[in-house]
Amino acid sequence: MKLCGGYDIKMAGRPAVEIESPVEPKELFLPRFSCRFRFSELCIGDGQHVRRGQVLARDPGNHGVPLLAPRDGTAHLDLEKEHIVLRGLSANPPEALETPEAPAHISRELGSVGMKRYKLLTLGAWQYMFTAHNGALPDPFGSPQAVLVSTLRLDPFLARGDIQMKTMLSNFTRGLEQLQSLLEYQPIYLVLPKVATAFAEQVREAVRGYAYIKPVQVPLRYPFDHFKILAKALGLSHDDEHPTWALRVGGILAMDRSLTMSLPCDTKVISIGGSGAIAPTHLTVMPGYPIKELLSARIAAGPVRIINGGALTGQAIGPEQLGIDVECAGLTLLSEHVNREFLGFVRPGSDRRSYSRCFLSALRRPMPERMTTAVRGERRPCVACGFCEEVCPVGIMPHLLHKLIYQNDLDAVERARLDLCIACGLCSFVCPSKIALGEEFRQTAETIRQEHQN
């Protein structure tokens, strides 16, 4: 498969390979929002006692995907804005749940396959599914053209697939079998890293006997794990009627948990990493775990920016979000740069990396750099260096788009294919002029979308 662009990003603060389990919290703050979901349809009353796995709310705009109670407790709806607070928690072990009876048309038209898909939806596993070309939640009762399963997570510092699989490889292969049972003839592309390690070979050996799985090896260059890039490289076209489904290791493990054990998907593995993290690690947490409590002994002193997601694609968490949301894959902690460096412009840069190789570090072996929120220099006009075009994984010209946006020529911006941008953030990362290209493109894409609606 042919891939273009990309960049080998090395940042200090990579989480350890072990997975820790934090102490049980005294209360949970379940956000009624995440990147894709808005749980606006409440299914409980204020002060109601709820059981583990019970549906607290649904997202009516996303096939009714549920927000589940991670523990037994008493639900409070008005204590915190846009959160469901659970108090009086009970840490009882999870129990197998009986799936609510599916609507008659599902069992009539889709049979046992429809019942399985309905079970994935009600037990919280379907929220791990994506449409490869646009990242939306696919119709659980639709028919895909293919399925992408990625074991990679290349955006620093999100929870990596190999970390989750190491102690659960049998669960992962069993989840692949469950995934195949949902399909007819559609292939499953298993995306693996192009590395020669003992564990990578163990994974390849574990799936070798599955005729329906097509292994695909990908270099460890960001963002070659992006679903849209993988789908395009595999020749899977954008088709609204028969989309390409995509999910990661956590989604396969959730399928096994739901279909094999009939357990609700109320825990997940997230990462805590970055320059502002003390002893970066992986954690098994439940949605709603208080962020302040989770980071109390894991965040460095001084001002630190907390990012929900990866260092390049995540969004800063504001004080309004109190708990881990259902889609969180990691918390990236970046030290805030407060003071300007004295005579920073004369430093040779032996401890800095640059795509342009203009620092002294170009003479060293690649080393993880301690990234902060600093821009490192004053923002300047575009110098047409072409670095952004070199790393762009979708083959567009970010420097040209930037100039067209500056000229407010939105028709030309569309002709230059802004729609192909996957918001990976690489163009901003390598830009020597410190231009916030990613944010500029997101705002322009939203402006164009609104103009088309009017």
| Domain containing residue 398 | 375-453
CA distance 42 to 32: 10
Domain membership of residue 201 (yes or no) is: yes
The residue among 260, 287, 311 that closes a domain is: 260
Which candidate, 268, 267, 274, places its Cα nearest to that of 295?
A: 274
Going through 91-187 in order, the beta strands assigned E by DSSP cover 130-131, 146-150
Domain membership of residue 156 (yes or no) is: yes
Domain membership of residue 238 (yes or no) is: yes
Amino acid at 3: L
> What is the total count of domains within the chain?
2
3-class DSSP state of 244: strand
CA distance 435 to 454: 30
pLDDT tens digit at each of 454 positions of the chain: 789 999 988 888 899 889 999 999 999 999 999 999 999 999 999 999 999 999 999 999 999 999 999 999 999 999 999 999 999 998 777 776 666 666 666 666 667 888 899 999 999 999 999 999 999 999 999 999 999 999 999 998 898 899 999 889 999 999 999 999 999 899 999 999 999 889 999 999 999 888 889 999 999 999 999 999 999 999 999 999 999 999 999 999 999 999 999 999 999 999 999 999 998 999 999 999 999 999 999 999 888 999 999 988 999 998 999 999 999 999 999 988 766 555 455 455 566 677 777 766 666 677 677 777 776 656 678 888 999 999 999 999 999 999 999 999 999 999 999 999 999 999 998 888 888 898 899 999 999 988 888 7
Domain membership of residue 162 (yes or no) is: yes
CA distance 360 to 249: 39
Which candidate, 172, 186, 190, 187, places its Cα nearest to that of 260?
A: 172
CATH number of the structural domain spanning residue 174: 3.40.50
CA distance 427 to 187: 33
Residues 249 and 117 in one domain: yes
Domain membership of residue 4 (yes or no) is: no
Backbone torsion region of residue 293, taken as left when φ is above 0, otherwise alpha when ψ lies between -120 and 50, otherwise beta? alpha
**Which residues share a beta bridge with 191?**
150, 216
Residues 248 and 383 in one domain: no
Domain membership of residue 254 (yes or no) is: yes
Residues 240 and 384 in one domain: no
Pairing of strands 72-76, 330-335: unpaired
Other residues' Cβ atoms within 10 Å of the Cβ of residue 171: 19
Domain membership of residue 244 (yes or no) is: yes
The residue among 260, 281, 311 that closes a domain is: 260
pTM of the model: 0.92
The residue among 207, 237, 260 that closes a domain is: 260
CA distance 383 to 41: 50
Domain membership of residue 268 (yes or no) is: no
